[in-house]
Amino acid sequence: MRRLQADHLILKIAQDLGLDGYRVVVERRSLDALYRLAAAQFPGRFHHRRFDSTGGRLMAGDYFAHHRLYELITYTDPCRAFIWEGCHPGEELLLVAHVIAHSDFFKHNFCFREVPPPPVELFSRHNEEIQAYVDEYGYRKVREYIDAELALQNLCHGGMPPEPNLDLLGLLIDHNPRLNAWQKRVLEIIREESLYLRPQKETRILNEGWAVFWQKRILPECGLTEAETIAAVKLHARLTMPLGGRLNPYLVGCRLLEHIAGELGMEKLFSIRAGENDYSLVRKFLTEELLQELDLFVYKEQAAQLIGPREDPAMVKKVLLSHLENGGYPVIRIEDTDFAGEGKLYLKHVYNGLELDHQTAVDTLGHIARIWGRPVLLETVLEGKNCLLQDNISL
Omega into 161 within 30° of 0, i.e. cis? Answer: yes
Residue 394 CB, nearest approach to other proteins (Å): 12
Which residue lies nearer to other proteins by CB, 72 or 296? 296
- Helix or strand or coil: residue 354? coil
Q: Least distance from C-beta 296 to other proteins, angstroms?
A: 5
Query: What is the β-pairing status of strands 376-382 and 385-390?
Result: antiparallel
What residues from 16 to 75 belong to the interface with other proteins (CB under 8 A)?
Answer: 49-50, 53
Tell me if residue 345 falls in helix, strand or coil.
strand
Q: Cα dist. 318→118, 189, 271, 338 in Å?
A: 35, 35, 25, 36
Options 64, 246, 314, 395; binder of other proteins; rule CB under 8 A? 246
Among the listed ranges 29-37, 94-102, 175-183, 247-255, the one in contact with other proteins (CB under 8 A) is 247-255
Write the CA distances from 86 to 54, 90, 230, integer angstroms.
22, 11, 16
Q: Is 32 exposed, middle or buried (0-12, 13-18, 19+ CB in 10 A)?
A: exposed
| Measured distance CA(95)–CA(101) in Å, rounded | 10
Confirm or reject binding of residue 191 to other proteins (CB under 8 A).
no
Please tell me whether residue 388 binds other proteins under the rule CB under 8 A: no
CB 105 within 8 A of CB 210: yes
CB of 110 to other proteins, least distance (A): 25
Q: How far apart are CA 323 and CA 321, in angstroms?
A: 5
Residue 294 is a binding residue for other proteins (CB under 8 A): yes
383 binds other proteins (CB under 8 A): yes
Q: Considering the rule CB under 8 A, would residue 376 count as an interface residue with other proteins? A: no
The 319-358 site mask, x for binding other proteins (CB under 8 A), equals xx-xx-----xx-x----------------x---xxxxxx
Q: Which residues bind other proteins (CB under 8 A)?
A: 49-50, 53, 141, 144-145, 147-148, 150-155, 242-248, 251-252, 294-308, 311, 316, 319-320, 322-323, 329-330, 332, 349, 353-361, 363-364, 366-367, 370, 382-383, 393
